[in-house]
Amino acid sequence: MDDSRIIDLFFARDERAIEETNNKYGAYCFTVANNILESREDAEECVSDTWLRAWNAIPPKRPAVLKAFLLKIARNISLDRLKAARAAKRGGGETELAIEELGECVAGTADVFGELMEKRISGLIRDFVHGLTERERAVFVRRYFFLESVKTVAQRYGMSEGSVMTQLSRTRKKLKDILEKELN
Amino acid sequence: MKGEDLLRKMSDIEDSDIILSETSCKRRPRYAAWLYAAAALLVGLGVFAAVRLINKPEDEHHAYVPTAAPTEPVTEFPTDVPTAAPTETEPLSTQATPPEMLFFTGVKEYREFAEAAKLGEEEFESFLDEHGTYYMNGICSKQDAVNALKTLNSIPTPLLAGYELWRIELSSYNDRVRLIYRSGAHYISFVFTISCSDEDAESVIRGTEHELTEIDTGDIGELRYLLRVMTEEGTSPNAYYYSNIHAHKTFLITDIGEEELLALLRGCRFITVEEYSESADR
């Protein structure tokens, strides 16, 4: 079923919307959740929660790209769950690594957060990622959006793990420079 | 600002950039350069030899057989390209009603619910207030609870050696009960269709677009059939099966191997959720 038809089902409050969404995007959302949580049971639960959130959000929202919309919800739910798990000192190995890696980018930036600053940072990251070359962007997104391991990214793009790490390191350096310049 | 904040902000990137990462092609492996060089050399030699052959006398033609240049297969990712402008997730609407899905994380929660259903109307309403409407979704009255329990107990609940019933979901809206079991890092999920069906393997195969393989279940008489959904290698960490257990069409998802699954099903007893929860109490 195409996405616009699925979204129409959501708008019609037809419960088949969830079944169709699950059939089409269940595996994608599961993969992201599982990458973050490294627990298949927790990931399954996050996927179920994703459908409920999508149900609550559509309508009024009409996502332009349903797949990305669902992936973002699944990702955010999984990160929330991971935060709780981290507080309880368990889980999240690959995500912990990604957090540590990205921590380099913000070391030394001002620790100021507020609504305006949040929006500014969102915009900076969006523009930064969008401005990368196709290859840089693909590797960066797979690592820090999908939370794939370096090994998986390397296999996906036919690169060596060393090349992926080098490329990620360069990209993070660029991001660090931008954040330092803009936020300090 | 921390790495964790930055990781969360990655959710704000454009939809097209997320999708692009799936459509980017594989880079040719490093050895491909050598392959291409070798191929080019062979082609060059071929051309050279062919030119020589053309210029040679007739009786020397058998001396050369041209070799085809090797080609490297290039794997493409699906071209799922976005067609519309990017979007962002928005705060949840509080007006819409979610579908009726009742969750219990573990048998203990189920027991609490079952016990509460024995209380008076007012006490049961207090129970609902305490537990919120999210997990008690679809339950507005004691009668709803009684009906939900009746439905759950109409489903054959597997008693799997070494596995614990970890999550129970009742989705009345789509006629499903899902039971998730786990053992250490592994899990098995049974998605039962509540309404009964006596369909056989052949009609399932005919009625789906998935490629299915029938598994010989031998002496597992409780299973009417077991069909494995063939998935592209490497696309999922799970294996998927269709079955019919006690006349309920069942979808199984698991990360354990086929032999291990068959062994578990072979030694499995099917009881009710109520019986399961009582046995867990003991």
| Greater pLDDT, A59 or B265 | B265
Could you say which residues from 104 to 163 on chain B have a Cβ atom under 8 Å away from some Cβ of chain A? Answer: none
CATH code (residue A32): 1.10.1740.10
ipTM: 0.71
Q: Please name the helix (run of DSSP H) or strand (run of DSSP E) that holds residue B241, with its range, or none.
A: strand B239-245
Query: Could B9 and A121 be called an inter-chain contact, meaning their C-beta atoms sit closer than 8 Å?
Result: yes
**Whether residue A8 sits in one domain with residue A74:** yes
The domain boundary, picked from A42, A67, A87, lies at A87
What's residue A70's pLDDT? 93
Contact B5, A106 (CB under 8 A): yes
Nearest CB to B20 within list A56, A109, A134: A134
Domain that holds residue A68: 3-87
B/e letters for B172-206, b = 16+ CB within 10 Å, e = fewer, are bbbebbbbbbbeeebbbbbbbbbeeeeeebeebbe
Number of domains in chain A: 2
* Whether the Cβ atoms of residue A140 and residue A132 lie closer than 8 Å to each other: yes
Verify that A105 and A80 share a domain, yes or no.
Answer: no
Asked whether the beta carbons of residue A157 and residue B187 sit closer than 8 angstroms, the reply is: no
3-state secondary structure of B50: helix
Q: What angle do CA A20, A21, A24 make, to 5 degrees?
A: 85
pLDDT digits (tens, 9 = 90+) for B208-256: 767 889 998 887 888 889 999 887 665 556 788 889 999 999 988 888 9
Q: What is the CATH number of the domain that holds A152?
A: 1.10.10.10
Is B15 a residue whose pLDDT tops 60?
yes
Any A CB within 8 A of B72 CB = no
Judge if A41 and A7 occupy the same domain.
yes
Enumerate the residues of chain B whose CB falls inside 8 A of the CB of residue A78.
none
Q: What is the rounded CA–CA span in Å between residue B177 and residue A132?
A: 46
A109 lies in the same domain as A128? yes
Q: CB-based contact (8 Å) between B79 and chain A?
A: no
A66-80, A130-144, B34-48: least confidently modelled range: B34-48
Cβ contact, residue pair A65, B86, below 8 Å: yes
Indicate whether A98 and A82 sit together in one domain. no
Tell me the per-residue pLDDT of B162-189, one tens digit each, with 9 for 90 and over: 999 988 888 876 788 989 888 887 888 8
Do A168 and A132 have their domain in common? yes
Q: Token digits for B27? A: 């880079």
Nearest to B96 among A56, A71, A142 (CB): A56
| Chain A touched by B21 (CB under 8 Å) | yes
> Of A87, A110, A125, which residue sits at a domain end?
A87
Is the domain of A154 the same as that of A123? yes
CA distance A43 to B185: 12
Distances (CA, A) of B258 to A47, B25, B61, B155, B264: 24, 33, 58, 23, 10
Question: Are residues A52 and A14 part of one domain?
Answer: yes
**Residues A8 and A51 reside in one and the same domain:** yes
Alpha-helix runs per DSSP H in B95-186: 107-116, 121-135, 142-152
Same domain, A76 and A124: no
Residue A57 pLDDT > 50, yes or no? yes
